Amino acid sequence: MRKNIFLLIILGVVVMIMSMMSKEFLRFSTLLESLRYAVEMGIMAVPMTMIIITTGIDLSVASTLALSGILMGIIWKYLNLNIWLAGLFAILIGSGCGLLNAYMITGLSIPPIVVTLATMAAYRGIATGLSKGRGITGFPESFQNFGQGSFMNFIPYSVFIWVIVALVGYVVLEKSKFGRYIYSIGHNETGAMFSAVPVVRVKNILYLFSGMMAGLSGMIYSARIGAAKSNAFMGGELEVITAVVLGGTSITGGEGSILGSTLGVLIITFLKTGLNLARVPHSVQSIIVGIVLVASIITYTRFGVGFFKKIKKGGV
Amino acid sequence: MRRLTIIFLMILVGILIFSADTIKIFMIPKFTGAPYFVATEKGAKKAVEELKALGLPIDFLYTGSSVANTEEEIRIISNLLEQNPDALIVSANDEDALVPVLKKAKQKGIVVVTYDADVSDPTARDYFVNQASFDAIGAVLIDLVAKNVKPDANIAIVSADPNAANQNRWIEAMKRRMKEKYPKMKLLTIKYGYDRPAESFQAAQDIINAYPNVDAIIAPTSVAFPMVAEAVVKAGLKGKIYVTGLATPNDMRKYVKMGVVQDVVLWNPVDLGYLSVYVANAAVRGMISKVDGTEYVCGGKLGLYKVYDELEGKKSVVLLGPPFIFTIDNIDQFNF
């Protein structure tokens, strides 16, 4: 909880400084519009948080997004399927990709970083091969509007989906037995196993969920840019992981929250929007994002140490 | 000629009437930092200064991702729309992905000019400043061979990939030029190097070995061009086989200095950036004149430009002009 308060303070400081740097920043329309470009990151950050809590990682999310998008486009275009039905297929395909990751991680006991590093390349490669480097365009107006339009010309439609995913993720991780399992695996996997936690099943579900959300993001992404592209969201997996880590999820497992990751996404998004509006060159922007990330991590570790000392003194 | 004078006068009058208002133009290249785009920036800034001196002030911003990144480019454009610019000048990292955000800009009444790399949907932008037409490039390459070797030379081509659309259109244009102007010139073979240095080098060696009568090799790709030059040097045929093609001065400087290559064909990116700003400025201030249904735009020191309704499949195109030829005399003025 302390981390989240700290993150809120950072977010406040970012918004304050950015609104001083450009007069267009602090407007609902600007902030809401900038969220449109954070939806995919926000959605994929939810399963990523859970996976990192279990000391795992999923590097294949951006490639899964691209592959699901391309296959959705192909199904829609060449099988003449309704676009929304094809969108459902994108989610299924993403889930399939996630399931394959899960099988290799739990079934074949290969470390997650190795498995997903391989599938990151493989899924992207299949997507490129299928599309032959060309995009699939011409999606129906209603579908494009879902990614490009806004409710009452104000809130981008896709943001609602992000909110739903984040809420569900929050309830699952923090209010349910399944959530307890996730934390216990992160704290001590062997211990969890001996405490009758279904470790393999939990992990399978998490990687499946990650693929599913990447598929959903693939559909949203295609609607947003009005095209299915094999180079979609290139390098996006690192952005997702950056947001999650900034959000206080410990890469060594056992710690993290959906609220924190969501705040992480918001901080990065608003920071970049503000810096763009303040006309800060891009190379400088990357440096600033890096500094914010490192500074937060340092503060966490300090906070953490102080926190545990207090508990000891209190004689818990 | 009288018509041109009238248009110039109209533009001058326009300048005098509409002076004073500062307009906002944002220029977003594929990525910053690369010498090619630094050159377009240089040209753009020069145009901004000239226009300022003419009483047409511009609030000019040149910004973009530091590496080629479609997501960042979309995000930057979307963010900058909040500042209500009068015009955007964009080189698209992805011809499809940028369409929605540029359409959004147009809906807000912003003039959208693409340069260097166009988007796939012409309704997403007002003008495309095209660096060079396929026809002109093909013609220049063949003309160079005819002039520097002989009109009945035996030539060979090293291309990238048999499916590369741009490559094939350049090759088609070359063939057309040969048929029309130099019917005795003979194309011996086309080899493919797949834009990989080793394979391009191999392709050039194959040509040299298989066709001892080859007079000239043309490589319309920046990967194959230096490799062909290298193969000619290795075979000890420097000066015997004429080599030309498309590449940047930096790619070819070494071979031009060695004397293996005399002419490097491309366009001048400084002029490309310069013209783009003039077009955007003219479109915003209503300085694009229409004569007999054809639009004309002033390109500053580059002269007057016609807006093509359609050019090689693209709509509303301003063509920078004939390709630029880099030689030993001018190559050191360029760093890209």
The pLDDT of residue A189 is above 50: yes
> DSSP string of B75-124?
HHHHHHHTT--SEEEE--SSTTTTHHHHHHHHHTT-EEEEESS--S-GGG
Q: Which helix (H) or strand (E) holds B172?
A: helix B165-181
pLDDT-derived band at A316 (thresholds 50, 70, 90) equals: very low
Q: β-strands B304-311, B314-319: how paired? A: antiparallel
Q: Which CATH number fits domain A2-313: 2.40.50, 1.10.3470, 1.20.120, 3.30.70?
A: 1.10.3470
State the average pLDDT over residues B108-112: 96
The one-letter code for the residue type at B225 is F
Mind listing the pLDDT tens digit for each residue in B147-182? Answer: 999 999 999 999 988 877 788 889 999 999 999 999
CATH topology of domain B134-266: Rossmann fold (3.40.50)
Task: Return the pLDDT at A303.
Answer: 66
Minimum Cα–Cα distance from A229: chain B residue: B97
Q: Contact, B283 vs B111, CB < 8 A?
A: yes
Confidence class for position B291, pLDDT limits 50, 70, 90: confident
Whether pLDDT at B4 is above 90: no
Residue-wise pLDDT tens digits, A191-229: 999 999 999 999 999 999 999 999 999 999 999 999 999
B61, B69, B97 member nearest A229 (Cβ) = B97
Flag whether residue B94 sits within 8 Å of chain A, measured between CB atoms: yes
Which residues have C-beta within 8 Å of that of residue A152, sequence separation ≥ 6?
none
pLDDT digits (tens, 9 = 90+) for B269-286: 999 999 999 999 999 999
Residue B208, amino acid: I
Mean pLDDT of B26-47: 91
- Token pair of A309, please? 């000392």
Q: A291: exposed, middle or buried (C-beta count within 10 Å: 0-12, 13-18, 19+)?
A: exposed
Residues of chain B with CATH 3.40.50.2300: 2-132+268-321, 134-266
Per-residue confidence (pLDDT) for residue A315, from 0 to 100: 43
Averaged pLDDT for residues B218-223: 92
**Spatial separation of the C-alpha atoms in residues B36 and B66, rounded to whole Å:** 13
Task: Give B2-132+268-321's CATH code, choosing from 3.40.50.620, 3.40.50.300, 3.90.1150.10, 3.40.50.2300.
Answer: 3.40.50.2300
Q: Report the range of poorest mean pLDDT among A22-26, B12-16, B26-30, B129-133.
A: B12-16
B96–A37 CB contact, under 8 Å: no
Q: Percent of chain B scored above 70 by pLDDT?
A: 94
Q: Using the beta-carbon criterion (under 8 Å), do A276 and B70 form an inter-chain contact?
A: no
Q: How confident is the model at residue A313 (pLDDT cuts 50, 70, 90)?
A: low
Give residue A219's pLDDT.
97
Per domain, the residue ranges of chain A are 2-313
Best mutation target, A21, A27, A37, to test chain B (most B CBs within 10 A): A37
CB A156 within 8 A of CB A36: yes
Q: Beta strand pairing status for B294-298 and B289-291?
A: antiparallel
- The interface predicted TM-score (ipTM) is 0.85
Q: What confidence score (pLDDT) does residue A308 get?
A: 47
d(CA A123, CA A100): 11
Mean per-residue pLDDT, B23-51: 92
Test the B interface: residue of A276, A283, A286 with most B CBs within 10 Å: A276
Residue-wise pLDDT for A124-174, tens only, equals 999 999 988 788 999 999 999 999 999 988 899 999 999 999 999 999 999
Q: Do A279 and B97 make contact, defined as CB atoms within 8 angstroms?
A: no
